[in-house]
Structure formats: C-alpha cells, structure tokens
Amino acid sequence: SAFIENIRSISRRAEDVYGETVGYWQPDEPPITALFAAFGQWIEEDFDNIEMDARRRIFLLIEQAMTEGDELVATAVATGLIEALTGKIGSDLYKWKKVSSCFGPYSLSHARAWSGM
C-alpha cells in the first residue's frame, strides 16, 4: 500500500523494520496488522531518535490513513500500529505526553481510547 511505502521511505530504520518483519513471515506475506504493529513498536522504541521532520511525516501519515485511506488500511493502522505503539508506552505518562502530542485528532482519539490515557 502507499502507506507502507511512505513509512518505509522515512528512514533506514523504518526500512529495516519492514525487511525484518517480511523476512520473519517468509515465504508468506506478513499480516498487515503484524507489519503495522512492528512499525508501531519501532516508533515507540526510537521515538526520541526520530528526527522531528520524520516524526511529523509519520504522524501525518497515520492521521491520513485513519481519515482518508481505505478501510483495510485504516483498520490496520488502528489495530496494528496505534495499538502496538500505545501498548508499548503502557503507563509511562511522560512518554505518553510526548507521543500523544504528535497524533492528529482522529488518531489521538483512538490512541486515548485504547491506552486509557
């Protein structure tokens, strides 16, 4: 999908996450939610190391996928990427504040509902 290609193009690490996930699932394609969950985990783990412009692009892509994309991509972003990202944050309020400030309104609503924050 265009979402996957756009996320992959953000950084070498994003491309590595894609390659590792695809490699793990070979010879099959990874389920889209598993692939998006890997991206969500990467964002949480590397959040402080992701350049501000790249971070803005990531969260803009997330918001666009949730509001403008097709239903399959929107669902996978919600149940894969956002839920993995917020799940890894857990109850770390400091990290939640940093990450949540990057979400757009629609994706933030889902992240809040999922995380309970």
User: How much is the pLDDT for 115?
Assistant: 78
* Residue showing tokens 């309970």: 116
Does pLDDT of 116 surpass 80? no
> Residue 70 region, left (φ>0) first, then alpha (ψ -120 to 50), else beta?
beta
Half-sphere exposure (Cβ direction) of 7: Cα atoms closer than 13 Å: 26
- List pLDDT tens digits, range 22-78: 999 999 999 999 999 999 999 999 999 999 999 999 999 999 999 986 899 999 999
- Give 80: exposed, middle or buried? Use CB within 10 Å, 0-12, 13-18, 19+: buried
**Mean pLDDT (whole number) for 84-107:** 92
CA end-to-end span of the chain: 30
